[in-house]
Chain A
Amino acid sequence: MVSPLILLPGDEIPSEYLPSTNSAPLRLGAGLRLLSQPSSNPSTPPSHVISATQSALLSTDTKRNAVSLLSTPNRRYIPTPGDLVIAQIHHSSPDYFHCMVTPQAPQAMLGQLSFEGATKKTRPMLKQGDLVYARVLSIGLGAGAEVELTCVNPATGRAEPGGLGPLTGGMVFDVSTGLAARLIKASSSSAEQQDGVAGLVVLDELGKKLEKAGGFEIAVGRNGKVWVDCANGGDSAIKATVAIGRCLSTIDEHELSPTDQRKLVTRILREMKIES
């Protein structure tokens, strides 16, 4: 394991930090960009460099052959293709739902038929204020380009990974984009590292503690939104949901170590009078 690398915008990533397996194509995460550098000698092909677009820690995932940036807890979200986001329907037109990914930013388009198994007759009827869990399909080029979202994988026609589509019930909490990225990362690489990825154990801990109360469903959007629902929670459903929201916002505001995160979960659950 090489020592952690801190990058500034425009920094190139040294090749020794990239995953070495050459069989699969390298996946670039948010905040990284592939640039081609024209070489001084016109006969040789231009070389490529991967450079960072924001200051962050570099994180590599050798299993998935991916590199990405662990961004700092900033608030602004810039759509990148492939990101999972929670969008809110603003209005619908014959072909598209116009969605808000971030407030005060141009709306994104979500095709009326880009849902799993949707046909003209079976497409979901979403109204203003409904939420969808979607993937950023393309961000267009140039000024005024539209961001397009989708709830299916265009290649297979399935809602991959599971859970894409309209979100009903539950509650949405606002977190920083940095925490959202960490949450996604923590859930995608399951328990191979001790104490969670990037020191985030709060969801595992909450999952263990809230098992008796019926468990919970969670969807994390890269645009800094976390949707939580405790549909099986019975009487304590609302309390449990609020408890999860409070845990997340506290962790967002304070840098907590895994032990402190466990303590926080216990304390908030006790405060909210939820049995664990």
Chain B
Amino acid sequence: MNKEAPLSIAERDFILNALREDVRLDGREADQFRPLNVSFGEEYGHVKIQLGKTSLIVRISSEVTKPHDDRPFDGIFTIALELTAMGSPAWENGRQGDLESYVSNVLDRVIRHSNALDTESLCVLKGVSCWSIRADVHITDYDGNLIDAACIGIMAGLQHFRRPDAVVKDGQVIVYGVDERVPVALNITHKPLSITFHTFDEGKRVILDATRKEEQASEADVLIGLNNAGDVCYISKFSGFPVDAMVFVNKSSVALEKVKEINNIIDKALQADLTKRAKTALVEESRAANDR
């Protein structure tokens, strides 16, 4: 039974009729995100995202490997997303569904292919060793809009992550432990985020950040990926009902506004976490001095 339960006719009709009156089930406006909470764990690159009832955990990790033969100057960056039964009873462990490949594909396009993480900066020694950065996305609860939430999580994680320092000495790569040298932040070129819209009523109603029920009742989805500067790095409309071209134009400006808003939230959370870390580090330092 690896299937999302279909909506009943009553729910489908009601969601559509309500949207015709500009009413959403949780009382939001059409262009309003659910409350977003970004928090960080103890380690660098451990992010928890809570978007309404959708919640997920992103872990960024790094290791030194050999670069790909055809790209000796580039490091490696992979995004691993798996939908397990932990996130929703409709998902089965170890079996890839349509949603999983779709979400992975979009995340790859928005974040990896737009070069948000500068992979050239991950090179340690040409053709011999480089950093491999891996982002693992674990969904812990699912109530729609997985793509946006995962995007926010990965971008926040990349900005939060610190990799160990590595130097080359006489052709030897030396990796210093986190306690030996101050770890290095990753080189982020820009901060793209995806914004998902869902259309209803033959493309006349367009809403942002749909819940699971709204997603199921919708006719089509429109995805726009862009960064703070308004550079659109991804746009898609895969299937479903046709959407007027003007929707893309109009909603791009809405999306830009939202991306700025969300990046602000991420920045604030990062800042708060950094000051907290600085404080605890100071305390530790003074304690160490006392011990001596």
Contact = CB atoms under 8 A, between A and B. Distances in A.
Contact of A130 (B1, B9, B17): B9
Contacts of B21: 238-239
Interface string B1-39: 101111111111110011001011111000000000000
B90 A129 contact: no
B27 A246 contact: yes
Given A239-B21, A268-B27, A272-B27, A100 B14 contact: no
A129 B11 CA distance: 9
Interface of A is mostly: mixed
B27 A241 contact: no
Contacts of A238: 14, 17-18, 21, 23
Contact of A245 (B7, B10, B25): B25
A35 to B, nearest CB: 30
A129 B10 CA distance: 8
A104 interface: yes
Contacts of A88: 5, 8
A268 B23 CA distance: 13
Given A238-B21, A242-B25, A170 B14 contact: yes
A46 interface: no
Contact of B89 (A100, A104, A242, A245): A104
B8 A172 contact: yes
Contacts of A239: 21, 23
A167 interface: yes
A242 B26 CA distance: 7
Interface residues of A, number: 26
Contact of B5 (A104, A170, A268, A272): A104
B5 A171 contact: no
Given A103-B89, A103-B90, A271-B27, A242 B18 contact: yes
A129 B5 contact: no
Interface in A125-150: 127-131
A242 B7 CA distance: 17
Interface string A159-184: 00000000111111000000000000
A7 to B, nearest CB: 27
Contacts of B90: 103-104
Interface in A106-127: 127
Interface residues of B, number: 23
B14 A129 contact: no
Given A129-B6, A238-B18, A104 B1 contact: yes
Contact of A246 (B6, B9, B10, B26): B26
A172 B11 contact: yes
B240 to A, nearest CB: 19
Contacts of B26: 246, 249
A127 B8 CA distance: 10
A210 to B, nearest CB: 16
B1 A171 contact: no
Contacts of A128: 6
Contacts of B5: 88, 100, 103-104
Contacts of B4: 103
A129 B27 contact: no
Given A103-B90, A238-B21, A242-B18, A171 B10 contact: yes
Contacts of A245: 25
A103 B13 CA distance: 20
A227 B7 CA distance: 13
Nearest to A172: B11
Interface string A238-252: 110110011001000
Contacts of B27: 242, 246, 268, 271-272
A96 B108 CA distance: 47
Nearest to A242: B23
A131 B8 contact: yes
Given A104-B1, A242-B27, A245-B25, A130 B8 contact: yes
Contacts of B89: 103-104
B18 A131 contact: no
A167 B9 CA distance: 11
A170 B17 CA distance: 11
7 contacts: A88-B8, A103-B4, A129-B9, A169-B13, A171-B11, A171-B14, A242-B23
Enumerate the 9 nearest inter-chain pairs by beta-carbon distance, A residue then B residue, closest first.
Answer: A103-B5, A129-B9, A171-B14, A104-B89, A88-B8, A238-B18, A129-B8, A104-B1, A131-B8
Given A128-B6, A170-B14, A238-B14, 5 more contacts: A88-B5, A100-B5, A129-B9, A241-B18, A246-B26
